[in-house]
A and B are shown apart, each in its own frame.
Chain A
Amino acid sequence: MSEAAIAWKVLTHSWAIPLAFVGVLWGIIGGALPGISASIAMALLLPFTFAMDPPTAIIMLASVYVGAEYGGSIPAILIRTPGNNSAMATVIDGFEMNRQGRGGEALGISLMSGFIGGLFGLAVLIVATGPLARFALSFTPPAYFALGVLGLSVIAGLSGRSLLKGLFAGLLGFLVATIGTDPVSGISRFTFDSPDLLSGVRPALVMLGLFAVTELMVQVIEPDWLKAEAAGARLKLPGWAMHKRLFRPNAIGAVVGTVEGVTPGAGGTVAALISYNEAKRWSKHPEEFGRGSPEGVAAPECANNVVTGTALVPLLGLGIPASNSSAILLGGLLMHGLTPGPMLFDKNPEVVYGLYGGLLVANLAMLVLGLAILTPSLWLVNRPKPYVLAFVFALVVTGSYAMQQSIFDVGLVLGFGALGYVMRWMGIPQLPMVLGVVLGFMVESNFRRSLVISGGDYAIFLKDPISVTLLVISAAIVIFSVRRELRAPSGGLAI
């Protein structure tokens, strides 16, 4: 029986299709709620899948992942509150478009780019699982360090009008990332003997504070959150001309999402940020980025949805979970007595090819459900401002508490909100700080592991071919970004 026939049989001889829709809806709800990540949404559903047959259970879990990665963009665009880490880059232009009364257009672009990204990721998963899994296996600590540096290199492009202040923010984020348990010796750093800080500061808390709470404060002095015009309050899918314009950022998102997705530990957040930076570099309208550029929404949304497919490459090909979400999927496989890895293709083809078919259904479900819920979402955020802001605040404190059931975390979010407000007053961009928090641990732990391996020889970073390649690309990105900003027509970069 051919692979397609196996997939068809799995989809049509079980509850897989309706359950994929349920999974995507659950994922969108979870992804849209701050504090409920894709992995948490999947973990909550895990016990319910126990009684299902293995292919259906895996399809349902994977569908939650697809829905959650997409769902994070909805609050990012509408209320400047990323539902998950990977929607961080979508905030920049998505919310700006919404402020300009183009929220419906931003949501339409995010939906279509997410759909395209999801399908591309699935195609990569089907075609290239074998070779890409081997590529993922060749990553060593120096290569992971270089990957983190590559992520940090986009700070230059995210610094707005002042590279120095972007660097300042990145360093602040990096310092926040050093809070918690030291990755090598295990001693506590800057925890003030508080058990709440032992595991460090979650990037999601920093994001909620810097974006959502700061925006609540800014709304007091900048009451320009106007009700959208009737046209802006409706979902607007991109037309042919817009699709043509978005081809390049979507292609960038697809390539970056593929590389980052198959690399364990990188994930959709880094993919989204690098895609945003590259889309800006290759755009014909780079000056629009940060001011409501459709390309600035398309590239990160495409990238983080590509990851929903490509993150499964190391899982299916090698049995290695590349992210928290694929670790939950691994749990689902093991729960049903399945061992992921190359043998899965021979022993349980119905699971692998059923999953391929299920992911296709999940992406279609994302499109259908997105079309159904986005207009009501737009209507909701166009209610009277005091009511909307009150609900946003309640959502932020509830979501930040939900992450670890900790009131301390709510206090941290408020603290980061105040810091974000001060940063905004000083003209310090917020995104580089979040990037520093997200990548700080990865960079430090792999830097020090590499030095332990090499006995303190820094040449280890130049001996590993992947590390060298990534470091050279990072250097090139920094040089190009600085040159571009210096040559910017609007007065150039205030170094």
Chain B
Amino acid sequence: MLARDLACAALGWAIALAYWVGASRLQRSMLSDEFGADGLPRGLAMLLAAVSTLIALRALWLARRVPPQPAALGPGLRLHAKALGGVAALGCLYLVLAPWAGYLIACGVLIYATALYYGAKPTPMLAAVSIGGAVFFWWMFARLLSVSMPAGFWPQLLG
């Protein structure tokens, strides 16, 4: 838990510093009030840094007070990387594909790839479900709810 708490504190300090620097670079406006556009972000950054410090101090204090426990059996770094990286990669695939190939294809590929990632077998059934799912979502959002979904290259191709 010590490592996680210290990581949490480090994350807090990094975010607080980023916001503090960002706030100090904000332009001044003639319309600005006494508090200013930078007032709240600066205040919050200070608070976040203070809370992060307390989290770190508490972690160090607990580590001295409580005898070291045998490491709990949790997922290893590789599994964490697989979880985070895998879903992020699938999302990025959609982000790249949707504007270029259009919503229908991107959604179908996303369903197919995600199901494979979670252990489905690459069967014709999966392909059919992916196509059916993409058409269903397209019908629901684009047709029924009139949301303009990414069209991709299709309008140019079909004239």
Residues in A lying within 8 Å of B, measured CB to CB: 30, 33, 36, 40, 44, 164-165, 167-168, 171-172, 174-175, 178, 182, 184-187, 189-190, 213, 216-221, 384-387, 389-391, 393-395, 397-398, 401-402, 405, 407, 410-411, 414, 417-418, 421-422, 425-428, 444, 447-448, 451-452, 456, 494-495
The residue that A220 contacts in the complex, of B5, B33, B83, with Cβ under 8 A, is B83
Q: Is the CB of A422 within 8 A of B11?
A: yes
Tell me whether A167 and B83 are in contact in the complex, defined as CB-CB below 8 angstroms, given that A175-B15, A178-B40, A410-B95 are known contacts: no
The residue that A414 contacts in the complex, of B4, B8, B92, with Cβ under 8 A, is B92
Q: Is the CB of B114 within 8 A of A185?
A: no
Tell me whether A217 and B84 are in contact in the complex, defined as CB-CB below 8 angstroms, given that A394-B134, A414-B92, A448-B33 are known contacts: yes
The residue that B44 contacts in the complex, of A178, A185, A428, with Cβ under 8 A, is A178
Q: How far is the CA of A402 from the CA of B138 in the complex (A)?
A: 11
The residue that A426 contacts in the complex, of B8, B94, B112, B116, with Cβ under 8 A, is B8
Instruction: List 14 extra interface pairs beyond A221-B82, A386-B120, CB under 8 A.
Output: A36-B145, A40-B145, A164-B55, A168-B12, A171-B51, A178-B41, A185-B36, A189-B26, A221-B79, A389-B114, A398-B107, A401-B149, A418-B84, A451-B33
Q: How far is the CA of A283 from the CA of B11 in the complex (A)?
A: 36
Q: Does B60 interact with chain A (Cβ within 8 Å)?
A: no
A-B contact pairs, 14 of them (CB 8 A): A174-B44, A175-B48, A184-B31, A184-B33, A185-B33, A189-B26, A387-B129, A405-B149, A418-B88, A421-B83, A426-B7, A427-B8, A451-B34, A494-B58
Q: Is the CB of B80 within 8 A of A221?
A: yes
The residue that B4 contacts in the complex, of A190, A219, A425, with Cβ under 8 A, is A425
Tell me whether A219 and B118 are in contact in the complex, defined as CB-CB below 8 angstroms, given that A164-B58, A168-B8, A185-B37 are known contacts: yes
Residues in B lying within 8 Å of A, measured CB to CB: 1, 4-5, 7-8, 11-12, 15, 19, 22-23, 26-27, 29, 31-41, 44-45, 47-48, 51-52, 54-55, 58, 75, 79-80, 82-84, 86-88, 90-92, 94-95, 98-99, 103, 107, 110-112, 114-120, 126, 129-130, 133-134, 137, 140-141, 145-150
Q: Is the CB of A456 within 8 A of B34?
A: yes
Q: Is the CB of B120 within 8 A of A387?
A: yes
Q: Is the CB of B37 within 8 A of A187?
A: yes
| Chain A residues, CB < 8 A from B37 | 182, 184-185, 187, 189
Q: How far is the CA of A219 from the CA of B1 in the complex (A)?
A: 22
| Chain B residues, CB < 8 A from A394 | 107, 110-111, 114, 133-134, 137
| Chain B residues, CB < 8 A from A172 | 15, 48
Q: Is the CB of A220 within 8 A of B82?
A: yes
Q: How far is the CA of A451 from the CA of B27 in the complex (A)?
A: 21
Q: Is the CB of A393 within 8 A of B110?
A: yes
Q: How far is the CA of A414 from the CA of B7 in the complex (A)?
A: 21
Q: Is the CB of A187 within 8 A of B83?
A: no
| Chain A residues, CB < 8 A from B116 | 386
* Smallest beta-carbon distance A170→chain B, Å: 9
Tell me whether A213 and B141 are in contact in the complex, defined as CB-CB below 8 angstroms, given that A171-B48, A410-B94, A414-B92 are known contacts: no
Q: How far is the CA of A393 from the CA of B107 in the complex (A)?
A: 9
| Chain B residues, CB < 8 A from A411 | 91, 95
* Smallest beta-carbon distance B113→chain A, Å: 8
* Smallest beta-carbon distance A420→chain B, Å: 10
Q: Is the CB of A186 within 8 A of B141?
A: no
| Chain A residues, CB < 8 A from B31 | 184-186
Tell me whether A444 and B137 are in contact in the complex, defined as CB-CB below 8 angstroms, given that A175-B15, A185-B31, A414-B92 are known contacts: no
Q: Is the CB of B52 within 8 A of A168?
A: yes
Most buried by B among A33, A167, A390: A390
Q: Is the CB of A397 within 8 A of B120?
A: no
The residue that A425 contacts in the complex, of B27, B44, B80, with Cβ under 8 A, is B80
